[in-house]
């Protein structure tokens, strides 16, 4: 029986730059900020939509997700960019949500329309999913030399095999690694 292969889609640096340009120009800045946070943290869409101010600790640079997909609490580290994004978010009186919805007292429910607009404006392929931002985040970390264990912890994965599916090495990194081996082999033959 052939095993099903997961999608291997992650955004490149130029694609991410175009995406962030489109997010800056998006009329719905609440939804745009939510999408930007996904790209900056590797969080799941549902986690960001349910994000409350009480779970954000900007001085400690952490975001507590009370109940992640695994059912456990997890903590997401916040980069300088994520902290800056959250610091720009307006805090409305008596509204606990970081990304409040159009209906009073409710969080933002969906970012699909915003995603479709910014994806098209950024020139991304039509099949690019919002979840691909999570893969892109993991791939960026791995391609910049971060250990898979760190990536797994940030993404909240219990199994390294899951993290491996999320993190894709760029061909340039693989060629660089192959060149190291090639140099060693070449020198051994001399």
Catalytic annotation present for 131: yes
Which has the higher per-residue pLDDT, 3 or 127? 127
Predicted TM-score (pTM) of the model is 0.83
Nearest to 134 by CA among 40, 34, 65, 24: 40
User: pLDDT tens digit string along 60-87?
Assistant: 999 999 977 767 888 999 999 999 999 9
- Comparing 116 with 1, which gets the higher pLDDT? 116
Q: What is the mean pLDDT of residues 121-133?
A: 96
Identified catalytic residue from 44, 117, 119, 135: 44
Cβ count within 10 A of residue 16 = 18
Taking only Cα atoms into account, the Rg of the chain, rounded to an integer number of angstroms, comes to 19
69 included as an active-site residue: yes
Among this protein's residues, is 44 annotated catalytic? yes
Mean pLDDT to the nearest integer, 19-46: 97
- Tokens 């490149």, residue located: 12
Dihedral sign (CA 113, 38, 145, 151): negative
137-178 pLDDT per residue, tens: 988 888 888 888 888 888 887 777 766 666 666 677 667 777
Determine contact, residues 11/128, Cβ cutoff 8 Å: yes
Distance, CA of 7 to CA of 23 (rounded, Å) = 24
CATH 1.20.970.10 fits 12-126, yes or no: no
How many whole angstroms separate alpha carbon 6 and alpha carbon 130?
Answer: 15
Buried b / exposed e over 60-87, threshold 16 CB at 10 Å, is eeebebeebeeeeebbbebeeebbebbe
pLDDT at 126: 95
4-32 confidence digits (pLDDT tens): 455 568 899 999 999 999 999 999 999 99
157 given a catalytic annotation: yes
Task: Give me the residue spans of the domains in the chain.
Answer: 12-126, 131-190
Out of 117, 119, 135, 157, pick the active-site residue.
157
């Amino acid at each position: 029986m052939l095993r099903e292969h997961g999608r291997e889609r992650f955004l490149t640096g130029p694609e991410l730059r175009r995406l962030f340009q489109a997010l800056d120009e998006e009329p719905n800045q609440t939804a745009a900020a939510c999408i930007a946070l996904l790209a900056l943290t590797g969080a799941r869409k549902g986690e960001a939509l349910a994000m409350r101010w009480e779970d954000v600790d900007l001085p400690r640079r952490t975001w507590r997700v009370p109940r992640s997909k695994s059912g456990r609490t997890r903590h997401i580290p916040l980069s300088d960019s994520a902290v800056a994004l959250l610091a720009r978010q307006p805090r409305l009186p008596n509204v606990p949500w970081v990304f409040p919805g159009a209906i009073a007292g409710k969080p933002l429910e969906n970012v699909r329309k915003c995603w479709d607009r910014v994806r098209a404006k950024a020139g991304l392929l039509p099949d690019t999913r919002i979840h691909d931002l999570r893969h892109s985040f993991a791939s960026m970390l791995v391609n910049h030399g971060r250990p898979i264990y760190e990536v797994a912890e940030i993404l909240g994965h219990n199994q390294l095999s899951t993290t491996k599916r999320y993190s894709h090495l760029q061909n340039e990194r693989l060629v660089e690694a192959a060149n190291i081996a090639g140099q060693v082999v070449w020198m051994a033959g001399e």
